[in-house]
Each structure stands twice: as structure tokens, then as C-alpha cells.
Amino acid sequence: MVFASHNNIISGLGFSTEENYQAVLNSKLAVKKTTLPFSKEEFCLATIDQTLLNNRFSNIDDPKHFTKLEQLSILSINEVITNSGINPSDEKTVLIYSTTKGNIDLLEKEKTSNIDKKRAYLFEFANVLKSHFNFKNNPIVLSNACISGILAIIIAKRFIEKGTYNHVIVCGGDIISEFTLSGFKSFNALSNEACRPFDKARVGINLGEAVSSILITNHKSLSKPYETQIISGFSANDANHISGPSRTGDGLLQCLNQLNITSTNHIGFISAHGTATVFNDEMESVAIERAHLTDIPVNSLKGYYGHTLGAAGVLETILSLESLKNQTLISSAGFKNKGVTGKISVIEQFEKKSFQSFIKTAAGFGGCNAAAFFSKI
Amino acid sequence: MNYINSYAHIKNNSVYVNGEQVFTYDKNATVNTFLSEAYHAINLVYPKFHKMDTLCKLGLLCAEFALQNNHFINEHHLQKTAIILSNSSSSLETDKLYQHSISDKNNYFPSPTIFVYTLPNIIIGELAIKHKITGENAFFITEKFDANLLVDYCETILNHNATSAICGWVELNENSYEAIIFLVEKKYHPDKNSIFKPLNQQIVTQIYNQT
Amino acid sequence: MEVLIEKLKRQVIEQLNLVEVKPEDINPDSPLFGEGLGLDSIDALELIVLLEKHYGIKIEDPKDGKTIFQSLTTLAEYIKANGKS
């Protein structure tokens, strides 16, 4: 069995999983209208306050020598290692880091700092984490667009089942940069208001920054936080278009079918990718319907956090685990009126419910899709 | 037991398939010129090729050379064909191009066609689209070519929900580049154009280091 | 108008990397999307950039693109009506 264990979320809603979960229960949103130093325009984004971060990070090391993403990642992974007691130097322990752009802000010429620009290379970034924690194994960096987070968890499970590792810390993170913001803007994919997954009035995403870490392990003693195992997980490609999803949700359907769900009875919810673009949410609803999973209520957490790219799959899985542990369905923030053709039902209020399991889905640029199934032991 | 059916290796403006040089070009030519010539040499007719960034062109061409004169695509269930790629620089060359398009505030024109290529897994997307391959995906970043990681992960999925895989390394960093693509499968069905070697770390490393 | 259309042909070929297409191959009245040149949604976004970069025209709502970008002729007519240069 492979278990989901200790974890951490750092986001605009707090520096711990507990803080984040409580904030979500109180319908707090990390997304806010923000003006950034490089643009006169106002965007709706979820940022993490650098001053707060520097203060926290100073307890560990000098913030001047680390990028924002490095500071966040070190803080987050540190929580997981401390709480679980695992030894990073153990040869059957590894870090899998999920990110789309890493330290991409280092490409900005105007930025003057003591930080070596070579850390724009993802493996150099990973080496900073390796050195800090004294990991024996080189971290594995996974850069597979927005499915990276959940895919990293699936890959962790596969490596553990194969016997290559016993413990895998999966850490996912991305920061907001002019690079990413301008790019999504050129795609006309941004919303100026808080985003509205699955809603009729949805117009696009909000970008969010976050880092989240979770320990995936085969040690039963570490299963205590959630008593939950990862049953299965798969990825697939639409083979259709490099930036738009398949209109018929082919790739995601292939993933959902492979989960081989025979009964939807005890499945509490589907934690959807739900980015709030016109195309993604429509595609997901179609895939869920074609997979005969419409009985299972759906939510998206991106109304709270925005799209956190490399962190999304990890962050959203962790909150889904909290949801399962607390037997509480999380309301899908930003949703009022259904605006997708697939016959899904979106969770509109927080609700106590008795359930055993949940499904997590994701999709990303490059036509990639992923789905995973988590269940109480 | 899993097998390497065939492989293609592109470096130093030359293309090798199963160890034999099949195309070479002026060593002083730029990577883009070389790739353009290689595209014509293989008689590829695929207009989308020209819209790709250099990294995707490199990856796609390497795969095309490996797949040429090979029944791999026809023989395999493409829903169960995985594409597992890796490199050390991610999409950095295209990232720099994109950064350039937003660096001058007086000439500020973020390009969506450049931005879409600022993710390394787009190579996987392009390959998937061309051949309708819908199986598992993964793009890993490692400092150097990591035979152990690729073999370990390929074996994992071949024991699971894949019956074949296209795996390898597609790297572009400033003026240096290299790509190696292996066609891997579970079943042993010899073909006169294949090399059929067992998939293991030792053999993959040996093939990679072959000049 | 013809001068503008010839100029547009070259600009579209360059901006969209249509390497195998020659200006003389493009029929200005053929659809740009779907059949004809077979452009896709990313190309549509890039055409919006082209309009701003070369003609100073900003399209606020990309949905307007459907009519403006129907063919090179409709694009040229739009530029004539709205362009600053």
C-alpha cells in the first residue's frame, strides 16, 4: 500500500496546511486584485507576501541568498521532514519536485541580486534543495505543465510500488512572474475578477503562487494523519492540440476509465482542475459525464487559490485529504450558475458528508491529462 | 523483459540510427539550419514542423528518424504507448526568446506562439499529435542524461499500463544540443531494421556514449 | 488595397512561421481558419499581436477576431478602416 502522509501548504492563506484548511472553511480567498511592480495594470492574483516570507525564512537561513521559490520550498519541505521524522539522507528516500517554470524570475535582466543566474536551470534549483536537506539521492524534477503536481504523486506511488524508494517527498511550486503573467495574458486566459470555475460567467484564470509538499510512503506508521492510500493514478495525452484541450475530453476520459471505478457510492467528490477557462471546465465536465461519474459532486479549489501551476496538483490533493479526514465537502468558490454542458453537479456549500474516497483530476498545456483515486484504508 | 527496438541519436549536426550515421551536415551550420536540412533529408512533409521552436523540432526529428523504416507506430496500441522524455535545460532557449519579447517596455509584444513553447513537455504534445499517441506522459529534468531514471520509470509503466514507450533525452542549451530517442517495447518481435537489445541501464548508457 | 494585401501576406507568413507557404499561394478571399490556410486558435492570438505591432490597432475582445480574420481581404478592409499607419 502507498499512503498519503504529512504535508504542508504555503500560500496567500497561510504557512501551514491547518491554516489553509481553516481559511478555506471560512471562505477566505487568496486571490485579490493586485498591482505588481512591473505593470500598471491591476490583476486578480494570489500572491505570498515577501516580507512575511523573509521573516519566516530568517529562522532557517539568510533570505538574501535564496529566491522566493527556494525559500518557500525549503520552508515547506522542512515541515514535512520535521513532522514525519524521516531521514532525507536515507538511500530509499527521494524528493520529486513539480514545477512549470522554477526560478524563471532570474531571467529578468533588471533584477539585481546575489543569486547566481544559473539557478534558472531547474536542476540547479533542485540542487539547492538537495544541499540544504542533505538528500542522498538527486531530486527528480518533473516539468509536465499543470498536471505536474498530481503526476508527481502518481510517479511517487509507482516508484514506491516498484521498490525503488520507500519515502517520496513530493513538493510542487511556482511563483508569479512577469513571464507567466504576460504569457497567459497574451493567451487572453486571465480574468480581472476572482475566477469562476464551471460558472456561466467564467472568463479565465487567476494566477496564484504556492508551494505544497506531501510525503508519500509505504510505511504504515506514517499513514496516521489520513489513513488514506493512493489506489491508482494515470496520465494520458489528448493528441489533439498543444494548448487547447480536446473538446470531447478524450485524454481525461482515458485516465478516468483506467481508474476503473465500479461503484460511485462512497466517493465523496471529484477535485477537478477547474481553472475557470471556457475550454478547460467544459472539457472536464464532458469527460466526467462520458466516464459515467456524474453522480459524484465536483469542486474546484482555484476559486480560492487561483491556478498555482506546478503546486496545484499537490495543494489541491492535500486539501482534498483534509476534506476526507474531516468528512466535509468543500464548496467550489466562485460558482453560482452552471455553465458547462456535461451533467456534473458542482458543490455549492460546505457540507458534512460520510464518504471514503475522492478523485483528483488535472489537465495541462501539451495536451496532457491526469487522474488519481484516493481512498481510506 | 523489455526491449529497445531501435534508437536515433542526433548530435554534432549528424543523425545516427541504430549506431549508423544516416545523415550529416556542415559542422559549422547553426542548429536551425541543420534541423531544416535534416527535415528535408528524411522527406518529412509536416507544415506544423516550421511553427515549432528549436527544441520541439529537435525532439520530433529525432523521433521521426527512429520511427522511419520501422513498424513501431503500426504495431502498437497507441493508447498504451508512453512518451517519457528528459533534459537538463527545460525550455530555456525559448524562455529567453520569450523574455526578450517582454523586456523592452517600448516594444512590448508578448508572443503567444513563443509562450506556448515555454514548457518542455510540449515536445511530448507535438509527438502525440503527429502520431495520435495517447498514453502516459512524463518530462523529467536532470543535470545529465540519466539512464537509470529513464530505464526505471519505463520499466515501471511497462509493467503497468503501457506496452511500448518512446523515451529519451532532448536537450538544447545555447549553441549545444543533443537528442536521443529509444523505441521501447514489451514484446520481442524481431524486425530486420531493429536492433532488439534488452532495456537496461548498462545498455542504454553504452548506446548513449557510443560516438 | 492590393499593396496592403501583398504586405499582409508577407507579414502573416513571417509572424506565423508559415515557412512552406509562398505569397502567391495565398488567395486573399480564402478562409484563414479551418480550410484555406488552416490557421488555429494560437495563430488567431498571434494575428492580434500582429495588428497591434504593425498597425497600432488593439482588439479588445478576441471574439471580434472571427469576423476580422475571416480572410486576408476582410483583415485588409479592417486595417484600412481602423489603422493608424
Fold observed for domain B3-209 = Peroxisomal Thiolase; Chain A, domain 1 (3.40.47)
Beta partners for residue B175, in sequence order: none
Give the pLDDT band (50/70/90) at residue A39.
Answer: confident
> Which chain C residues touch B112 with a CB distance below 8 Å?
42, 45-46, 49
Position C1 scores a pLDDT of: 83
- CB under 8 Å to A341, separation ≥6 — which residues? A282, A285, A286
Is A65 at the interface with chain C, CB within 8 A?
A: no
Contact B134 A144 (CB under 8 A): no
Element (H, E) at A99: none
CA distance linking residue B139 with residue B119, whole number of Å: 10
- pLDDT exceeds 70 at position A294: yes
Q: Is A188 on the interface with C (CB under 8 A)?
A: yes
Contact of A360 with A296, CB cutoff 8 Å: no
* Neighbors of chain A with 3 or more C-beta pairs under 8 Å: B, C
Residue contact C16–B47, C-beta within 8 A: no
Domain boundaries, chain B: 3-209
Compute the distance between CA of residue C37 and CA of residue A87 in angstroms, rounded to an integer: 58
A229-376 carries CATH number 3.30.465.10: no
Say yes or no: B112 contacts chain A, CB-CB below 8 A. Answer: yes
User: pLDDT at residue C84 above 70?
Assistant: no
Cβ-defined contact of A250 to B153 (cutoff 8 Å): no
Q: Please give the C-alpha separations between residue A233 and each of A75, A158, A210, A259, B48, in angstroms, as whole numbers.
A: 28, 9, 23, 7, 32
Distance CA(B41)–CA(B61), nearest Å, equals: 11
pLDDT band at A38 (very low <50, low <70, confident <90, very high): confident
Contact B88 A121 (CB under 8 A): yes
User: Do A237 and B137 lie within an 8 Å CB cutoff?
Assistant: yes
Interface of B with C (CB under 8 A): 47, 50-51, 109-113, 116
pLDDT at C17: 85
- pLDDT number for residue A215: 98
Please state which CATH class domain A3-223 belongs to.
Answer: alpha beta
Chains touching C by CB (3 or more pairs below 8 Å): A, B
Of A257-261, A354-358, C47-51, the one with minimum mean pLDDT is C47-51
Distance separating alpha carbons of residues A183 and A190, to the nearest angstrom: 10
- Counted across chains A and B, CB pairs separated by less than 8 A come out at 150
Cell numbers given for A7: 504535508
Range of the domain at C65: 2-82
Chain A residues with CB inside 8 Å of C42's CB? 242-243
What string of pLDDT tens digits covers the 211 residues of chain B? 899 999 999 999 999 999 999 999 999 999 999 999 999 999 999 989 999 999 999 999 999 999 998 889 988 899 999 999 999 999 999 999 999 999 988 888 999 999 999 999 999 999 999 999 999 999 999 999 999 999 999 999 999 999 999 999 999 999 899 999 999 999 876 677 888 899 999 999 999 999 6
Which residue in chain A has the smallest CA separation from C62? Answer: A188
Predicted confidence (pLDDT) at residue C10 exceeds the cutoff of 90: yes
**Mind listing the pLDDT tens digit for each residue in A143-193?**
999 999 999 999 999 999 999 999 999 999 999 999 999 999 999 999 999
Query: Minimal Cα–Cα distance from A167 to chain B, Å?
Result: 16
What pTM value is reported for the model? 0.97
Q: What residue in A sits closest to C59 (Cα-Cα)? A: A188
pLDDT in tens, A344-371: 999 999 999 999 999 999 999 999 999 9
Q: Do C49 and B47 touch (CB under 8 A)?
A: no
A3-223 and A229-376 share one fold: yes
* Averaged pLDDT for residues A37-43: 84
Q: Supply the CATH number for residue C77's domain.
A: 1.10.1200.10
Q: How many CB atoms lie within 10 A of CB B71?
A: 13
Q: Where are the domains of chain A?
A: 3-223, 229-376
Give the chain A residue nearest C49 (alpha carbons).
A186
